[in-house]
Structure 1
Amino acid sequence: MNRVERLAVARRRATREHAVVHRVAALLLDYPGEELVGMLPTVRAALTEVRPELAAPLLRAVDHLATTPVGELESEYVATFDLKRRCSLFLTYFAYGDTRKRGVALVEFKQAYRRAGFEVAADELPDHLAVVLEFCATTDDDGRAAGIALLLAHRAGLELLRLALVDAGSPWADVLVAVSATLPPLAGEDREAVARLAAEGPPDEDVGLEPFAASPEMPLTGARR
């Protein structure tokens, strides 16, 4: 699927209901501190607008966050997203791994945000899944479509993350299940790309990585704080 095709598909998917799903998913994928836990009643209320098949997995994640001590949630979150390569929340990591091409891909995210007037905090990378989902949910129709197009462009990494979380029995797997359900069913090249990425993993580049690996602005996996 080329860029024009992705955008056409994304426009059809940029519905109000999907925006709610994406907004809730963005919140649930954020670091689980007291502030997030305090917002869970509002999240539940928002999901009354969403069809049960989309709301149900998100509500399961909400239930886990609401019934687990915050300290335990924090440890679980770090163990999942900081320490497991296949559970990275940074979408370009799956496509480009530890290579120079990742920097170019990050610029593409920034350009998409800039065109829509979407601001990203200076200490956040633009390819963090929670940031991308927030972009999908909080801009106008064109911005939502641009955000969904980014998800489609990195569909293989998104689906590998979903599969890795499911395999690990992670409560955050349900969030990815809901996000994937807002996108077209996997088929053709997308399905092949997921299988290939699952078999091979992200690419590596051994030469000249020091500036990237050492930079706090480009974590290799990691989680949003």
Structure 2
Amino acid sequence: MPVRRRHPAPSLPEPALRTGWQLVSLLLSYPDDRLLGLLPTIREAAGTLPDAVGSPLLRLAGHLADADPQAVCTAYVDTFDTTRKCALHLTYYAHGDTRKRGIALVQFKQAYRRAGLEVGEDELPDHLSVVLEFGATGSVAVAWKLLNDHRSGIELLQLGLDAKDSPWADAVSALRATLPPLDGSQAEAVARLLAEGPPNEDVGLDGYALDPRLNPHPADDDLDLSLDLTGAPR
């Protein structure tokens, strides 16, 4: 895990924060029939949120409702499952394909367990939708710390989605609107990751080789990402 630090308290009231996180979690999940069926409820709930959070969620929900379902599913896979630049797994940005990522995943599970949640074996604990679902229905404080500790990954995800002109960029914009502005060390971490990329090492036959879910984005692309370190929602 990144260095421990104290983070500012949320500026949104807890009910609005939980609702916003729940909607972002849903909208970043695979757009199957269940999710598409929930879009009317999602749009209704998004309309109750502050504009900086609710408006991008309404845009994304509208896009998903209006688009061809098969095309949406294909676009989702092309966006999140074929490129490292748009990884939804937060520890990838901090640790890349290294042994340290396995340790970070264990620390995520331990944080959940201390708050009373056991993550199933079929999902990785650092998936952004999992973290947000946990924050929406479980411990806001623990999710708040995990999100802010991995803020540089969220910023890189935003840049990657923006560079693809992806409709899912709106979901991350809404999430960022619930978080505090970047502090100096976080901005430096984003700049460093943008310049150098995540760490990389050959992990051999442990960790990722034994569990390919730990490296769910095997392909890489070279997107030209522009850096915005203002912390303002996009």
Q: Name the TM-score, length of structure 2 as normaliser.
A: 0.87
Q: Tell me how far apart the structure 1 counterparts of residues 61 and 205 of structure 2 sit (CA, whole Å).
A: 39
Match of 1:132 in 2: 131
Match of 1:163 in 2: 159
Q: Distance in 1 between matches of 2:13 and 2:113?
A: 19
Q: Distance in 2 between matches of 1:195 and 1:26?
A: 26
- Read off the aligned partner of 1:67 and give its amino acid letter: D
Partner of 1:17: 16
What stretches of structure 2 of length at least 5 have no aligned partner? Answer: 219-234
Tell whether the 8 Å contact from 2:99 to 2:203 is kept in structure 1 after alignment.
Answer: no
- Give me the identity figure in percent: 51
1:152-171 CA deviation, whole Å, 9 max, x = no partner? 11110110001110111000
Match of 2:212 in 1: 216
**Where do 1:75-224 residues align within 5 Å?**
75-139=74-138, 143-208=139-204, 211-221=207-217
What code does the residue aligned with 1:91 have?
L
Distance, in Å, in 2 between the alignment partners of 1:50 and 1:119 is: 30
Secondary structure, in 3 states, of the residue corresponding to 2:47? helix
CA positional deviation for 1:45: 1.4
Separation of aligned partners in 2, 1:119 and 1:13 = 27
Task: State the 1:84 CA deviation.
Answer: 1.2
Q: Deviations over 1:15-39 (max 9, x none)?
A: 2111111000000000001110000
TM-score (norm 1): 0.90
Q: Secondary structure at the match of 2:25?
A: helix
| Alpha-carbon offset, residue 214 of structure 1 | 4.8
Task: State the aligned residue count.
Answer: 217
Q: CA offsets, 1:124-146, max 9 Å, x none?
A: 0000000001011111xxx1111
More moved, 95-104 vs 212-221:
212-221
Deviation at 1:44, TM superposition (A): 1.1
Distance 1:118 1:14, change over 3 A: farther
Note if 1:68 corresponds to 2:67.
yes
Which amino acid counterpart does residue 184 of structure 1 have in structure 2?
P
Inter-CA distance 41–119: structure 2 relative to 1 (3 Å threshold): farther
**What is the one-letter code of the residue matched to 1:181?**
A
Q: CA RMSD in A?
A: 1.9
Structure number with the higher helix fraction is 1
* Contact kept in structure 2, 1:93 and 1:220, CA below 8 Å: no
Larger RCO: 1 or 2 (CA < 8 Å, sep 6+): 1
CA contact (8 A) 2:97 2:215 kept: no
- 1:196 aligned partner, one-letter code: R
- When residues 210 and 65 of structure 1 are mapped into structure 2, their CA distance, relative to the original with a 3 A threshold, is same
Where do 1:47-58 residues align within 5 Å?
A: 47-58=46-57
* Equivalent AA in structure 2 for residue 144 of structure 1: V
Distance in 1 (alpha carbons) for counterparts of 2:102 and 2:126? 11
